Amino acid sequence: MKRICLLALITTMSGCAMLEPIETDEVTQATTVVDAVEGDKSKDESSGIVDTLRGRNDPVAGDPAWAPIHPKQKPEHYAAATGSLFSPEHITDLYDDSKPRGIGDIITVTLDETTSATKSANADLSKTNEAQMDPLQVGGEELKVGGKYNFSYDLNNTNTFAGDSSAKQSNSISGYITVEVIEVLANGNLVIRGEKWMTLNTGDEYIRLSGTIRPD
Protein backbone atom coordinates (compact mmCIF):
# COMPACT_ATOMS: atom_id res chain seq x y z
CA MET A 1 0.00 0.00 0.00
CA LYS A 2 2.80 2.39 0.85
CA ARG A 3 4.52 1.61 -2.43
CA ILE A 4 1.34 2.37 -4.37
CA CYS A 5 0.90 5.76 -2.60
CA LEU A 6 4.57 6.63 -3.15
CA LEU A 7 4.30 5.74 -6.84
CA ALA A 8 1.17 7.91 -7.22
CA LEU A 9 2.90 10.84 -5.48
CA ILE A 10 5.95 10.61 -7.76
CA THR A 11 3.70 10.43 -10.84
CA THR A 12 1.76 13.52 -9.73
CA MET A 13 4.94 15.53 -9.10
CA SER A 14 6.35 14.55 -12.51
CA GLY A 15 3.16 15.73 -14.22
CA CYS A 16 3.30 19.09 -12.45
CA ALA A 17 6.93 19.57 -13.52
CA MET A 18 6.01 18.97 -17.18
CA LEU A 19 3.37 21.72 -17.20
CA GLU A 20 4.39 25.00 -18.92
CA PRO A 21 4.66 27.99 -16.61
CA ILE A 22 1.79 30.40 -16.75
CA GLU A 23 2.89 33.82 -18.05
CA THR A 24 1.82 36.72 -15.94
CA ASP A 25 1.46 40.25 -17.15
CA GLU A 26 3.88 42.69 -15.66
CA VAL A 27 2.20 45.69 -14.16
CA THR A 28 4.18 48.88 -14.47
CA GLN A 29 3.26 51.64 -12.09
CA ALA A 30 3.94 55.15 -13.32
CA THR A 31 3.58 58.45 -11.54
CA THR A 32 2.56 61.60 -13.38
CA VAL A 33 3.19 64.99 -11.83
CA VAL A 34 0.40 67.41 -12.66
CA ASP A 35 0.96 71.11 -12.18
CA ALA A 36 -1.97 72.88 -10.55
CA VAL A 37 -1.73 75.83 -12.94
CA GLU A 38 -0.35 74.54 -16.23
CA GLY A 39 -1.93 71.08 -16.12
CA ASP A 40 -0.55 67.72 -17.21
CA LYS A 41 2.79 67.94 -19.02
CA SER A 42 3.24 64.20 -19.56
CA LYS A 43 2.49 64.69 -23.27
CA ASP A 44 4.70 67.04 -25.20
CA GLU A 45 2.18 69.10 -27.12
CA SER A 46 3.13 72.38 -28.74
CA SER A 47 0.66 75.25 -28.68
CA GLY A 48 2.56 77.62 -30.98
CA ILE A 49 3.11 81.17 -29.79
CA VAL A 50 2.22 80.36 -26.17
CA ASP A 51 5.10 77.90 -25.81
CA THR A 52 7.41 80.33 -27.59
CA LEU A 53 6.63 83.10 -25.10
CA ARG A 54 7.03 80.77 -22.13
CA GLY A 55 10.43 79.58 -23.33
CA ARG A 56 11.76 83.05 -24.16
CA ASN A 57 14.62 84.31 -22.06
CA ASP A 58 14.66 88.09 -22.00
CA PRO A 59 18.03 89.73 -21.33
CA VAL A 60 18.55 91.15 -17.87
CA ALA A 61 21.11 93.55 -16.51
CA GLY A 62 23.92 91.93 -14.57
CA ASP A 63 23.85 88.66 -16.50
CA PRO A 64 26.90 86.62 -15.36
CA ALA A 65 27.47 85.49 -18.95
CA TRP A 66 28.22 89.12 -19.89
CA ALA A 67 29.98 90.17 -16.68
CA PRO A 68 33.51 91.63 -16.85
CA ILE A 69 36.32 89.15 -16.46
CA HIS A 70 39.50 89.48 -14.44
CA PRO A 71 42.82 88.01 -15.58
CA LYS A 72 44.21 85.34 -13.32
CA GLN A 73 47.14 86.40 -11.21
CA LYS A 74 50.25 84.28 -11.16
CA PRO A 75 50.99 82.60 -7.84
CA GLU A 76 53.83 84.13 -5.88
CA HIS A 77 55.98 81.01 -6.07
CA TYR A 78 56.12 81.41 -9.88
CA ALA A 79 57.60 84.90 -9.65
CA ALA A 80 61.36 85.01 -9.92
CA ALA A 81 63.10 87.10 -7.29
CA THR A 82 65.20 89.63 -9.22
CA GLY A 83 65.84 92.06 -6.39
CA SER A 84 64.49 94.93 -8.51
CA LEU A 85 61.83 97.39 -7.47
CA PHE A 86 60.18 97.13 -10.90
CA SER A 87 58.23 94.16 -12.22
CA PRO A 88 59.08 93.07 -15.78
CA GLU A 89 55.46 92.05 -16.30
CA HIS A 90 54.30 95.65 -16.16
CA ILE A 91 57.08 97.18 -18.20
CA THR A 92 55.99 99.68 -20.88
CA ASP A 93 57.98 100.73 -23.90
CA LEU A 94 58.51 104.43 -24.44
CA TYR A 95 57.25 104.15 -28.03
CA ASP A 96 54.49 101.65 -27.34
CA ASP A 97 50.98 102.74 -28.35
CA SER A 98 49.38 100.51 -25.71
CA LYS A 99 47.37 98.33 -28.06
CA PRO A 100 45.18 95.72 -26.34
CA ARG A 101 46.68 92.28 -26.60
CA GLY A 102 45.76 90.39 -23.44
CA ILE A 103 42.73 89.06 -21.63
CA GLY A 104 40.97 91.78 -19.68
CA ASP A 105 42.25 94.66 -21.83
CA ILE A 106 39.65 97.34 -22.56
CA ILE A 107 38.68 98.41 -26.08
CA THR A 108 36.33 101.22 -27.12
CA VAL A 109 34.25 100.32 -30.17
CA THR A 110 32.69 103.00 -32.36
CA LEU A 111 29.19 102.10 -33.51
CA ASP A 112 28.20 103.55 -36.89
CA GLU A 113 25.72 101.44 -38.80
CA THR A 114 22.92 102.41 -41.17
CA THR A 115 20.52 100.12 -43.00
CA SER A 116 17.77 101.09 -45.42
CA ALA A 117 15.21 99.09 -47.37
CA THR A 118 12.59 100.30 -49.85
CA LYS A 119 9.89 98.32 -51.62
CA SER A 120 7.22 99.57 -54.00
CA ALA A 121 4.52 97.95 -56.14
CA ASN A 122 2.11 99.28 -58.78
CA ALA A 123 -0.99 97.55 -60.09
CA ASP A 124 -3.24 98.74 -62.94
CA LEU A 125 -6.23 96.67 -63.99
CA SER A 126 -8.80 97.46 -66.67
CA LYS A 127 -11.72 95.40 -67.97
CA THR A 128 -14.34 96.28 -70.59
CA ASN A 129 -17.47 94.30 -71.47
CA GLU A 130 -19.70 94.99 -74.50
CA ALA A 131 -22.92 93.29 -75.58
CA GLN A 132 -25.03 94.28 -78.59
CA MET A 133 -28.04 92.94 -80.45
CA ASP A 134 -29.41 94.36 -83.68
CA PRO A 135 -33.18 95.01 -83.95
CA LEU A 136 -35.28 92.04 -84.92
CA GLN A 137 -36.72 92.22 -88.39
CA VAL A 138 -39.75 90.47 -89.76
CA GLY A 139 -40.47 90.70 -93.47
CA GLY A 140 -37.73 93.27 -93.94
CA GLU A 141 -39.13 95.59 -91.29
CA GLU A 142 -38.16 96.08 -87.65
CA LEU A 143 -40.34 94.36 -85.12
CA LYS A 144 -41.57 96.96 -82.63
CA VAL A 145 -43.72 96.96 -79.54
CA GLY A 146 -46.36 99.66 -79.47
CA GLY A 147 -44.81 101.20 -82.52
CA LYS A 148 -41.96 102.67 -80.43
CA TYR A 149 -39.67 100.00 -78.98
CA ASN A 150 -37.76 97.46 -80.98
CA PHE A 151 -36.09 94.28 -79.80
CA SER A 152 -32.45 95.42 -79.55
CA TYR A 153 -29.89 96.36 -76.89
CA ASP A 154 -26.43 97.84 -76.55
CA LEU A 155 -24.55 97.35 -73.23
CA ASN A 156 -21.14 98.68 -72.26
CA ASN A 157 -19.34 98.05 -68.95
CA THR A 158 -15.87 99.26 -68.03
CA ASN A 159 -14.01 98.52 -64.76
CA THR A 160 -10.73 100.20 -63.92
CA PHE A 161 -8.51 99.69 -60.88
CA ALA A 162 -5.26 101.43 -60.08
CA GLY A 163 -3.25 100.88 -56.90
CA ASP A 164 0.13 101.88 -55.54
CA SER A 165 1.89 100.59 -52.46
CA SER A 166 5.25 101.38 -50.96
CA ALA A 167 7.16 100.42 -47.84
CA LYS A 168 10.31 101.95 -46.47
CA GLN A 169 12.37 100.98 -43.45
CA SER A 170 15.58 102.47 -42.17
CA ASN A 171 17.62 101.86 -39.05
CA SER A 172 20.69 103.61 -37.78
CA ILE A 173 22.83 103.28 -34.71
CA SER A 174 25.77 105.36 -33.62
CA GLY A 175 27.69 105.70 -30.42
CA TYR A 176 30.42 104.09 -28.36
CA ILE A 177 30.60 100.95 -26.28
CA THR A 178 33.44 99.66 -24.13
CA VAL A 179 34.23 95.95 -24.36
CA GLU A 180 36.82 93.61 -22.92
CA VAL A 181 39.11 91.00 -24.42
CA ILE A 182 37.94 87.61 -23.20
CA GLU A 183 40.15 85.34 -25.33
CA VAL A 184 43.30 85.52 -27.44
CA LEU A 185 43.21 83.17 -30.43
CA ALA A 186 46.18 81.26 -31.81
CA ASN A 187 46.52 83.64 -34.80
CA GLY A 188 46.63 86.68 -32.52
CA ASN A 189 43.06 87.83 -33.06
CA LEU A 190 41.09 88.96 -30.04
CA VAL A 191 37.63 87.83 -28.99
CA ILE A 192 35.75 90.73 -27.41
CA ARG A 193 32.53 90.97 -25.44
CA GLY A 194 30.62 93.75 -23.71
CA GLU A 195 27.23 95.28 -23.04
CA LYS A 196 25.77 98.69 -22.35
CA TRP A 197 22.48 99.46 -20.61
CA MET A 198 20.66 102.79 -20.81
CA THR A 199 17.60 103.82 -18.83
CA LEU A 200 15.26 106.06 -20.81
CA ASN A 201 11.83 107.50 -20.09
CA THR A 202 9.99 104.50 -21.53
CA GLY A 203 12.22 101.74 -20.19
CA ASP A 204 15.66 100.17 -20.44
CA GLU A 205 17.58 99.90 -23.69
CA TYR A 206 20.63 97.69 -24.09
CA ILE A 207 23.41 97.02 -26.59
CA ARG A 208 25.39 93.79 -26.55
CA LEU A 209 28.47 93.34 -28.71
CA SER A 210 30.64 90.29 -29.21
CA GLY A 211 32.96 89.21 -31.99
CA THR A 212 36.53 88.83 -33.19
CA ILE A 213 38.87 91.70 -34.08
CA ARG A 214 42.47 92.10 -35.19
CA PRO A 215 44.85 93.51 -32.59
CA ASP A 216 46.12 96.16 -35.00
Give the pLDDT confidence score for residue 11 in this predicted structure.
63
Give the pLDDT confidence score for residue 165 in this predicted structure.
92
Q: What whole-number distance in Å separates Cα of residue 78 and Cα of residue 105?
A: 23
Q: What whole-number distance in Å separates Cα of residue 2 and Cα of residue 215?
A: 106
Give the pLDDT confidence score for residue 36 in this predicted structure.
43
Low-confidence ranges of the chain (pLDDT < 70): 1-56, 74-82, 88-90, 97
Q: What is the CA radius of gyration of the chain?
A: 45
Q: What whole-number distance in Å separates Cα of residue 152 and Cα of residue 136?
A: 7
pLDDT in tens, 162-174: 999 999 999 888 8
Give the pLDDT confidence score for residue 194 in this predicted structure.
92
Give the pLDDT confidence score for residue 51 in this predicted structure.
62
Q: Where are the domains of the chain?
A: 118-167
Ranges assigned E (strand) in 36-145: 39-40, 106-133, 137-138, 141-142, 144-145
